[in-house]
Amino acid sequence: MARRSQPDDEPESIRRSLVDLLTNFAKELEKPDLRCKVIALIPAFHKLRDLGGSLIPRTGANSARDRVKIYFQRYPRKVIDGDELMVISGIAEWARRVRELRVQFGWAIYSGVTFRDMANDAQAVEDVEQTASLEALLGVHPSQIKPEQYVLMRDEPDDRAAHRWFVLNEVRRGQASVKDKIIEYFRRNVARK
């Protein structure tokens, strides 16, 4: 979905537009038709997204992915709700942007699922130290982080991981057999971790 706000839209002007839309919605509530009410709320929904997306200045943050990255960088090693990312990104597909940052660009962004797996693995090998250090770092036991919560664990992306994804994606798109693709991937990543 294309962004509706313009680069010169300031948060305050978007907020005023949103307030006007919601104030005028009182007339819609008097109408009996449910669909008219829903359709009348769409512009307010778009303005609310625009307001969230405008909280980070556009200089250096032209896309939702950039805004999500900047938000994570401002709050490293803090548990961030998916709803926060939805607001700051200004789009519905915010989870895809988190995945892109993690997989394509090498950012160490862990979800609650990852932390739960880490906690279960630590219990399996009785690694109390690892769990305790994560709890001290995050302020919450790793198993208590919800699946829709995320944490940026490192301040810099892993360039090697991003490169591996790039090579994998390039090899995957080729016309060779699966076996040849696997061999090609290994050839292009000899002695790399």
Confidence band, pLDDT 50/70/90 cuts, at residue 192:
low
Q: What is the mean pLDDT of residues 2-28?
A: 80
pLDDT in tens, 84-128: 999 999 999 999 999 999 999 999 999 999 988 887 776 655 566
Q: Are 141 and 131 in contact (CB under 8 A)?
A: yes
pLDDT for res 1: 47
Confidence band, pLDDT 50/70/90 cuts, at residue 7:
very low
Q: What is the mean pLDDT of residues 172-186?
A: 89
pLDDT(24) > 80 = yes
Rounded Cα gap, residues 47 and 21, in angstroms: 9
Q: Under DSSP, is residue 81 helix (H, G, I), strand (E, B) or coil?
A: strand
Q: Which residue has the tokens 């839309």?
A: 21
The domain segmentation of the chain, as residue ranges, is 1-55, 77-155, 159-188
pLDDT for res 124: 56
pLDDT(12) > 80 = yes
Q: What is the mean pLDDT of residues 50-54?
A: 91
Q: Are 181 and 171 in contact (CB under 8 A)?
A: yes
Strand 80-81: give its sheet, edge to edge: 80-81, 149-152, 109-111
pLDDT(13) > 60 = yes
Nearest to 5 by CA among 54, 40, 44: 54
Rounded Cα gap, residues 55 and 40, in angstroms: 25
Give the pTM. Answer: 0.80
Please indicate whether residue 135 or residue 90 has the higher confidence score (pLDDT).
Answer: 90
Beta bridge partners of 110: 151
